[in-house]
Structure 1
């Protein structure tokens, strides 16, 4: 049987939208949920052009610069040029 944390994590991953993914990512980080963090990073990087325009993304950059640095590192790795 899955734990309540796992069920919540799966539900939050399904609820991720451009407007709220930064908030969910911050919560996943606070609760040490590696799986949800990766889901959020994946969603965010796939939609970064739109996500970076949201207020929640801007708030995350201000409140959690470590997470923002991770976003930039993952973006750079995914967009390496030969």
Structure 2
């Protein structure tokens, strides 16, 4: 492995502040996750298999769930197998369907994963 021989490891798929937050969590077993980075940190925690941090981020995202971000959170939850968060998003989106479908996030989800849109339509 290159990592075992290299003096420096390049991690190009994670922004520096997110990686620093990940390291802080790994060293302290605690992190006060800010809402504005919760989704990105959630994806990173999933990528590196840090399940407890992933759950902390899920909780933060669930607490910030609103019309504007519901589709984005739903899409991320689906991609990263966060079933509880995913189910909560579905419930929220079905209760607020008309408003959610008018958001940019919903439109983006329709372009990138139309199956999720069909799932919501079937449940409606």
Normalising by the residue count of structure 2, what TM-score does the alignment of the two structures yield? 0.56
1:68 aligns with 2:91: no
C-alpha separation between the residues in 1 aligned to 2:92 and 2:69?
11
Partner of 1:56: 105
**CA RMSD across the alignment:** 1.3
C-alpha separation between the residues in 1 aligned to 2:62 and 2:109?
18
Partner of 2:84: 35
State the structure with bigger RCO (CA 8 A, min sep 6), 1 or 2.
1
Q: Could you list the runs of 5+ residues in structure 2 that have no partner in the other structure?
A: 1-50
How far off its partner does 1:72 sit?
Answer: 0.8
How far off its partner does 1:48 sit?
Answer: 0.6
How far off its partner does 1:74 sit?
Answer: 1.4
Q: Could you list the runs of 5+ residues in structure 1 that have no partner in the other structure?
A: 76-82
Tell which structure's C-alpha radius of gyration is larger.
2
